[in-house]
Amino acid sequence: MLNHTEVSEFILLGLTDIQGLQYFFFIFFLLLYLTSVLGNGVIVTMIISQPRLHTPMYFFLGNLSCLDIFYSTVTVPKMLTGFLFGRQPISFGGCLAQLYFFHFLGSTEAVLLATMAYDRYVAICNPLCYTLVMNPRTCLLLAMTSWFLGFAHAMMHSIMTSQLSFCGHKHIHHFFCDVKPLLNLACSSTSLNMALLNVVTTSIALGPFILIILSYLYIIIFLFQKVRSQEGRWKPFSTCASHLTVVALLYIPLFFNYTPPSSSRSSKRDMQVSIMYSAITPALNPLIYTLRNKEVRSTLNKTLGRRL
């Protein structure tokens, strides 16, 4: 199919056009973005520089932190520019690139969280086999699989969206280029794109989520069957608290945005929900892992103590 696109650029309308709110949002999201980049950057640096953190769990955490840095960078800088200078033009190619990287990084993170849940399952339910099962080669393969699935999912949406025709309407009621707002502007048939969005994107989110639920169900069953003391049950499960919190922060807004049938009437809600997992969650993740994980907190304190 040939690309009959007649619109060379789109206009991102952003979150609000109220000037007073724009300045407030600029400061708020700038602080969130700096927290995301600096916080996740510190975690990546610690994991690389500290031999005691060279374990499968922290290898996956390092991947997650890298994803969060890139994930927020895809959308937030453009949104910040919009708060300062108003509606932002974006070329058709730039729009497709933003769409691609947003879905690439988001899909990769969903699969990676399932991988991290499997790592916790093996560590708690099969501790004697942990180093054998989660060897460096397996960890690398699992991480590469997560990145590849994200790549394939994003490529599918980018290619399908590039084949649509846009003839006149170019105002996107969003702060970044996403699939659903672009489908609302297309003047050619979007039935296949909509099917892929509702089936494939839901599957790429729901599949890892089911694996996460199963992993934690097995962990809970194992702890109640094999561990008698209350303290003995809580101690291994407490290592999963940070991961469960991150899963909730990603999946609750994600299911609000992509699992219901798409409709133009839900565009405002979609934009509001998108803020959660594109800007807020990447900033909260390093705080969650620092505050709730004793090993990360201890390593951070020692690192800062040596530098001070």
Note the pLDDT tens digit of each residue in 185-234.
Answer: 888 888 888 888 888 878 888 899 999 999 999 998 888 887 777 666 67
Dist CA 123 CA 217 (whole Å): 14
* Residue 9 neighbours by CB under 8 Å, 6+ apart: 89, 90, 91, 92, 95, 170
At the topology level, CATH places domain 9-306 in Rhopdopsin 7-helix transmembrane proteins (1.20.1070)
pLDDT digits (tens, 9 = 90+) for 99-113: 999 999 999 999 999
Q: Give percent of the chain above pLDDT 70.
A: 90
All structural domains of the chain with their residue ranges: 9-306
pLDDT band at 258 (very low <50, low <70, confident <90, very high): low
Give the single-character DSSP code of 199. I
Which of 264, 274, 243 is closest to 106 using CA atoms? 274
d(CA 267, CA 257): 9
DSSP code of 69? Answer: H
* DSSP letters spanning 17-39: --HHHHHHHHHHHHHHHHHHHHH
**How much is the pLDDT for 1?**
42
Strand order in the sheet with 9-12: 88-91, 9-12, 171-172
